[in-house]
Structure 1
Amino acid sequence: MTAAIDTALDADLAALADVRAKARAARRAFEALEGTDQETLDRYVRAMALAGTKAAEELARLAVDETGYGVYEHKIYKNRYNTGFVAKWMLERRAVGVLWVDDAARVTAVGAPMGVIGSIIPVTNPTSTTLFKSLAAVKSGNAIVHAPHPRAARCTLRTAEIMADAAVSAGAPEDLVSCLVEPTLPSTQELMRRAEVALVLATGGPGMVRAAYSSGKPTIAVGAGNVPAYVGESVPDAAEAAEMIIASKSFDNGTACVAEQSVVVVDAVAPAFLAAFEARGAYWLDAAQQDALVRVLFDERGALRPGAVGQSAVRLAELSGFTVPSTTRVLAAELHSVGVETPLSREILGPVLSVYSARDAAEGLRRCREILALDGEGHTTAVHAADPEEIAPFGTLPAGRIVINTPALFGGMGYSTEVDPSFQLGTGTWSGSICSDNVTPLHLINIKRIAHEVRPWRTVYDPVEL
């Protein structure tokens, strides 16, 4: 027993020593990088992006094999989205030095790096998130230390190594990108508290998000999403809306929190939509199957069971004791209430959709608001409608992204819409976050304003007429 305790203690001490070493080395790298211009930083970013794209398949395989979550082919797409589309967007913009000049106001904005970023990586999207955060940090002139989820430690470490090696090969300082080797909860907490860390950039479950905001450091953190999709009377194409929702929710076995969780369908279009919904791979669960699925998805405390996350619809059915056609893409449950007493109305990181009917747009709006209030406020809502008067009221919902006639996943992350492309989506003060934007390198800098006098300062004493 004593030997086992000593071994565990040695492992904890080694993990804490790793944090200290990585944080100090990252700070030295940041200091070596000080004053580097945007063109040089972009050279590093381009090399990193190219290396990440080359390794996309390797990293996807590592992630699926280590975590047991998601779909290999879809994780390739997630990796390449960040090293391709997102990286290109980053390279087209400035994050350090002069950002913009307002000649009329005589103000110049200058971007300044923050320092060392403490990065918390989730188990659901480990490699793609590490790619994104590494690129964003270096683009903005920062160093970054990643703290992986323990069940995604190896694939996260490998991703960080690829990013670090590519940056160094392009001329960047050693240790600009690094990763904890044996992550533990205490070591992750220690990273967030380290004096060398200027900002915590956290993606993870509610517990980790709370820990990040309790670290005493400036923090941008995102957590749960419970995303409703509204299908209105003016939907342009009911069948296409069904395909978009299913494609989004089934992508990578539902591991993205920005994907739809519930569908709210107005009665006038329900027959056409639901027929297409079923034809495109939705399997309707009866009451007994719903109960069986709930027992598989949630434990006695109401928390998601890790073993049920990121599984296919067919696999979830098998675990629940029933079979579905091999072509099933999502499991669908017709529900009539929202709340903790209706578990399938909550966020589920898997291909499961709850479906509600609504008499009209007003009732649909109320239902969407109710769904968001169940741990989804601040995240995303999808609206499938063409009539501006039907769409407009949904702008009052507490959601950072309200995407129109597009999959919530691809619209929310900034591919099929013109919101900033990102792999960390802020949820605002609705959910306890400081940021409701899609996070970009511009969130990882301090902005200085060089401002010239434009009115005589002595006139400050003069009265002002309104």
Structure 2
Amino acid sequence: MDEMMIKNIVREVLMKANLDISCKSAQGVFEDVNDAIDAAYTAQRDWYVNYKVEDRRRIIEAIRVVSRENAPMFAKMIHEETGMGRYEDKIAKNLAVIDKTPGVECLVTDAISGDSGLMIEEQAPFGVIGAITPSTNPTETIINNTISMIGGGNAVVFNVHPGAKKVCAVCLQILHKTIVENGGPANLITMQREPDMEAVNKLTASPKIRLMVGTGGMGMVNALLKSGKKTIGAGAGNPPVVVDDTADLDKTASEIYRGASFDNNLLCLAEKETFVMDNVADELIRKMCACGAHLITPQETEQLLKVVFLEKDGQYSVNKKWVGKDASLILESIGIKDADTRLVLCEVPHDHPFVLVEQLMPVMPIVRCKTFEDCVKYAVIAENGNRHTASMFSKNVDHMTRFAKEIETTIFTKNAATLVGVGIGGEGHTTMTIAGPTGEGLTCARSFTRRRRCMLADGGLRVI
């Protein structure tokens, strides 16, 4: 599909949906977050009291259908508004959350029947959830959170990233319209038209908000954790890859290349740095270059560091203008032309800023290590206690077990790109809210519920 065709599709879909793309009113979008909270509170009470679990299932399926139809449009709008990532990969991410986010099917009932009665425990909603979403996965997180949160019986007030507010508003309006057209309550999902920190503060202060959910950087997650509200936090990661000398290097090279270059490395779970045993390092680098990666020299590496990082008093931070940019553009910034590559490789020491600072760019630092033990030691340092994601390529079960125990990450993949850890090409469900800091792990509808126990005493209902 060429550029003009995609723009025409976007225009046509918006016209058919009759959406207010200026986001000034209607379809769940409000001028003031307090109005959004009040509307969601009313909707949630209606959703909980007057709708059955089967209604949730039916409406979620309608959300999947309309989201699937609009995935190419969402991907195009994200790319145009944020300037980050790759269009085709954004379609894949949207489809992953659409197809593989569990709905009500993960809400299970536990029951115990005995001489003293019948006990059941079920997953009940919290009420209204305040959800903070990122610019790296904007519509993906809204769709994922909507399915999970309303599946659990909740309503949601979103505070989206300002850098993706237009596409998020369009996405939310489409989902909102679908909910209402399928018999659901209006304002089950809402947002403030202009997202800001004041809105976040109002969410955390409102007694009508029972749970805060943050997907994004650790600064935001830590702020929510200090708010006094119950919080589910999905924070940053800096996922290391360990490659020992038993690994299948053909597969290792292709999988690291695939994962680290996917959507220009915007996923927090994507491979960010590779630690490889020295005796196989040359071959791994050669095979990654054969996959399409571009290896730069040590001098070019230091040039690139000055372009894509900011330095102050010896401390490095990412230059945000380069986050999620194509590898070819990153190379052009230091005078190298390679339009076909999706990934830049560089060899660096274990304490280099490219290793220790989460980049969110298609730049893969390679660290040579003399021993497997060194690989593990430096990988744990680079992961920085985020406990998010790590991966390993090996045929040695003892090595994989040791690294898994040392790194303690929420997601640990073996002999595959980390994408499989969220069900993209792998088993298991998909989520964009990976709650490592607060321990819920890969969230689903069950994560946004509270357990309630109901007891019928004196052996009632027993037939034995």
Q: Aligned residue for 2:450?
A: 446
Q: Using the TM superposition, give the Cα deviation of residue 108 of structure 1 relative to its aligned residue in structure 2, in angstroms.
A: 2.1
Q: Report Cα offsets for 1:177-229 as digits up to 9, x if no partner.
A: 11221112222222232221111111122322222222221111122111111
Give, in angstroms, the shift of residue 445 of structure 1. 0.4
Q: State the shift of 1:60 in Å.
A: 0.9
Matched, 1:435 2:439: yes
Q: Which of 252, 269, 272 lines up with 1:261 in the alignment?
A: 272
Kept in 2, the 8 Å contact 1:30–1:176? The answer is yes
Q: State yes or no: 1:120 paired with 2:132.
A: yes
Matched residues in 2 for 1:139 and 1:153: separation?
Answer: 24
1:80 is paired with a residue of what secondary structure?
A: helix
> Which position in structure 1 is the counterpart of 2:32?
18
**1:100 pairs with one of 80, 89, 110:** 110
Deviations 1:44-87 (A, max 9, x none): 1111111111110111111111111111111111111111122x
- The answer on whether the counterparts of 1:400 and 1:436 sit within 8 Å (CA) in structure 2 is no
Distance apart, 1:310 and its partner CA: 0.6
**For residue 18 of structure 2, what is the aligned residue in structure 1?**
none
- Tell me if structure 2 keeps the 8 A contact 1:189–1:211: no
Give the conservation status (yes or no) of the 8 Å contact 1:294–1:344: no
User: In 2 relative to 1, CA 297–193 (structure 1 residues): closer, same or farther, beyond 3 Å?
Assistant: farther
1:294 deviates by: 1.7
Partner of 1:57 in structure 2? Answer: 72
1:304-354 Cα shifts (integer Å, max 9, x gaps): 2221111011111223x2214222221112112226xx3453211110111
Kept in 1: contact 2:39–2:187 (CA 8 A): yes
Amino acid across the alignment from 1:449: R
| 2:173 alignment partner AA | E
Distance 1:208 1:345 in 2: 20
Give 2:149's match in structure 1, choosing from 137, 142, 145.
137
SS at match of 1:299: strand
Instruction: Pick from 59, 84, 87 the counterpart of residue 44 of structure 1.
Output: 59
State the 1:268 CA deviation.
Answer: 3.6
Per mean C-alpha deviation after superposition, the further-off stretch among 72-81 and 201-210 is 201-210
Q: Where does structure 1 lack aligned partners over 5 or more consecutive residues?
A: 1-10, 428-432, 456-466
How far is 1:296 from its partner? 2.2
Cα distance per residue 1:23-59 (max 9 Å; x no partner): 0000000011123322111111111111111110111
State the distance in 1 between where 2:203 and 2:166 align: 18
Structure 1 partner of 2:318: 304
| 2:346 corresponding residue in structure 1 | 333
Q: Secondary structure at the match of 2:121?
A: strand
1:247 aligns with 2:261: no
SS of 1:336's partner is coil
* TM-score (normalised: structure 1): 0.86
Alignment correspondent of 2:417: 407
Paired-residue identity, % = 26
1:158 equivalent in alignment to 2:170: yes
* In structure 1, distance between residues paired with 2:379 and 2:396: 18
* Partner Cα distance (2:88, 2:226) in 1: 37
For residue 112 of structure 1, give the secondary structure of its aligned residue in structure 2.
Answer: strand
1:284 aligns with 295
Structural mapping, 1:349-364, within 5 Å: 349-364=360-375
Closer, same or farther: CA 365–454 of 1 in aligned 2, 3 Å:
farther
Letter in 2 for 1:328: T
8 Å CA contact 1:365, 1:394 repeated in 2: yes
Give the TM-score normalised by structure 2.
0.86
What amino acid is the match of 1:274? I
Give the unaligned 5+ runs of structure 2. 1-23, 460-464
Q: State the one-letter code of the partner of 1:450.
A: C
* Paired AA for residue 326 in structure 2: S
Q: Which residue of 1 aligns with 2:6?
A: none
What corresponds to 1:430 in structure 2? none
SS of match in other structure, 2:453: strand
Letter in 1 for 2:364: L
CA distance in 1, matches of 2:320, 2:399: 39
Structure 1 residues 101 and 347, CA, compared in 2 at 3 Å: closer, same or farther? same
Corresponding residue number in structure 2 for 1:192: 204
Query: Which of 10, 22, 45 is matched with 1:31 structurally?
Result: 45
Deviation at 1:452, TM superposition (A): 6.8
Q: CA RMSD in A?
A: 2.3
**Is 2:335 the counterpart of 1:318?**
no
